[in-house]
A and B are shown apart, each in its own frame.
Chain A
Amino acid sequence: MPERKKRMITTTINGEEITFLCEPRQTLLEVLRDELGLTGSKEGCGNGNCGACNVLLDGVLVNACLVLAPEVEGRELVTIEGIAPGGELTLLQQKFLEHAALQCGICTPGFIVAAKALLDENPSPTEHDVRLWLAGNLCRCTGYDKIVRAVLDTAAALQAAQTTPTEVA
Chain B
Amino acid sequence: MRAVDYVPVRSVEEAVAVLAEHGDRAAPLAGGTDLIAQLKEGHRSIDLIVDVKPIPELMELSYDPAAGLWIGGAVPCHRISRSQVVRRHYPALLDSTTLIGGIQIQGRASLGGNVCNASPAADSVPNLIAHSATCHVAGPQGTRTIPLEAFFVGPGQTVLRPGEFLVGFRLPVPPAHFGAAYLRFIPRNEMDIAVVGAGASVVLSPDGQTVQAARIALGAVAPTPLYVPEAGQALVGQPVTEESIARAAQIARDAARPITDMRGTVAQRKHLAGVLTARALRIAIDRARGTKTVDSLGRLNGHA
Contact = CB atoms under 8 A, between A and B. Distances in A.
B171 interface: no
A154 interface: no
Interface stretch (B101-109, B133-141, B222-230): B101-109
A135 B6 contact: no
- Sorting the interface of chain B by its residue count into under 10, 10 to 19, 20 to 34 or 35 or more gives 20 to 34
B102 A23 contact: no
Contacts of B78: 60
**Which of A4, A48, A114 neighbours the largest number of chain B CB atoms within 10 Å of its CB?**
A48
A62 B107 contact: yes
Contacts of A5: 5
Contacts of B76: 60
A61 B103 contact: yes
B103 A114 contact: yes
Contacts of B191: 135-136
Interface in B5-20: 5-6, 8
A71 to B, nearest CB: 6
B51 A71 contact: yes
A37 B76 CA distance: 29
B102 A137 contact: yes
- Sorting the interface of chain A by its residue count into under 10, 10 to 19, 20 to 34 or 35 or more gives 20 to 34
Nearest to A54: B104
Contacts of B108: 60, 62-63, 66-67
Contacts of A109: none
A13 to B, nearest CB: 17
B33 A66 contact: yes
Contacts of A47: 37, 40-41
A73 to B, nearest CB: 8
B152 to A, nearest CB: 24
Contacts of B3: 1-4, 23-25
Contacts of A132: 190
Contact of B33 (A3, A48, A118): A48
Contacts of B36: 27, 66-68
Given A1-B3, A66-B37, A135 B32 contact: no
A47 B105 CA distance: 11
A114 B104 contact: yes
Contacts of B29: 68, 71
A54 to B, nearest CB: 6
Chain A interface mostly: mixed
A23 B1 CA distance: 11
A91 interface: no
A132 B107 CA distance: 15
B102 to A, nearest CB: 2
A24 B103 contact: no
A33 interface: no
Contacts of B190: 132, 135
Nearest to A137: B102
**Which of A25, A117, A132 neighbours the largest number of chain B CB atoms within 10 Å of its CB?**
A25
A66 B32 contact: yes
Contacts of A70: 6, 8, 51
B303 interface: no
A114 B53 CA distance: 24
Contact of B102 (A3, A71, A136): A136
Given A66-B36, A137-B102, A24 B5 contact: yes
Contacts of B189: 135
Interface string A1-43: 1111101000000000000000111010000000000000000
Contacts of B5: 4-5, 24
Contacts of B32: 66-68, 71
Nearest to B31: A66
B88 interface: no
**Which of B102, B104, B108 neighbours the largest number of chain A CB atoms within 10 Å of its CB?**
B104
A132 B37 CA distance: 23
A40 to B, nearest CB: 16
Nearest to A121: B82
A158 interface: no
Nearest to A69: B6
Contacts of A157: none
Interface of B: 1-6, 8, 29, 31-33, 36-37, 39-41, 49, 51, 53, 76, 78, 101-105, 107-108, 189-191
